[in-house]
Amino acid sequence: MGNKGMMKLGAYFNPTGHHVASWRHPRAQKDANTNIKHYVEIAQTAERAKFDMIFLADSAATRKADIEALSRSIQFIANFEPITLLSAISMATERIGLIATASTSYNEPYHVARKFASLDLISGGRAGWNVVTSGSSVEALNFNRTAPYPHAERYNRAHEFVDVVTGLWDSWEGDAFVRDAESGIYFDRDKMHVLDHKGQNYQVKGPLNVPRPPQGWPVIVQAGASDDGIGLAARYAEAIFSPHLNIEEAKPYYDKLKSQMMKHGRDPAHCKVLPGLSVFVAETEEEARRDYEFTQSLIHPVVAREILSTMLGEMDLTKFPIDQPLPADLPPSNGSKGHYDSIIAMARRENLSILELGKRVAGARGKNVFVGNPKQVADYMEEWFVKGACDGFNVMPPYIPGSLDDFCRLVVPELQKRGLFRTEYEGSTLRENLGLPCPENSYAKARKERASAAE
How far is Cα of residue 314 from the mean position of the Cα atoms in its chain?
Answer: 21
Helix pair angle (36-48, 82-90), 10° resolution: 60
Q: Which residues of 273-309 are buried (b: 16+ CB within 10 A; e: fewer)?
A: bbbbbbbbbbeebeebeebbeebbebbbebbbbbbbb
Strands (E), 356-427: 368-372, 392-395
pLDDT of residue 3: 41
Question: Residue 243: its pLDDT value, please?
Answer: 87
With a threshold of 0.85, does the pTM exceed it?
yes
Angle, in degrees to the nearest 10, between helices 374-386 and 247-263: 40
Residue 54 bridge partners (DSSP): 11, 98
Low-confidence ranges of the chain (pLDDT < 50): 1-3
Partners of 97 in beta bridges: 53
Give the SS3 label for residue 369.
strand
Nearest to 77 by CA among 91, 88, 87, 67: 67
For residue range 329-359, list pLDDT tens digits in order. 877 776 667 778 888 888 889 999 999 899 8
What pLDDT, on the 0 to 100 scale, is given for residue 232?
84
Quickly name the fold that domain 8-283+367-444 has: TIM Barrel (3.20.20)
Q: What is the domain partition of the chain in residue ranges?
A: 8-283+367-444
- At 2 the pLDDT is 37
Instruction: Summarize pLDDT for 371-394 with one digit per residue, the tens.
Output: 999 999 999 999 999 999 999 999
Q: What pLDDT, on the 0 to 100 scale, is given for residue 148?
A: 83
pLDDT at 143: 85
Question: What pLDDT, on a 0 to 100 scale, did the predictor assign at position 1?
Answer: 35
Sequence-distant (6+) residues with CB within 8 A of 325 are 347, 351, 352, 353, 354, 357
Per-residue HEC secondary structure of 69-95 comes to HHHCCCCCCCCCCHHHHHHHHHCCCCC
Nearest to 273, CA basis, from 231, 311, 244, 235: 244
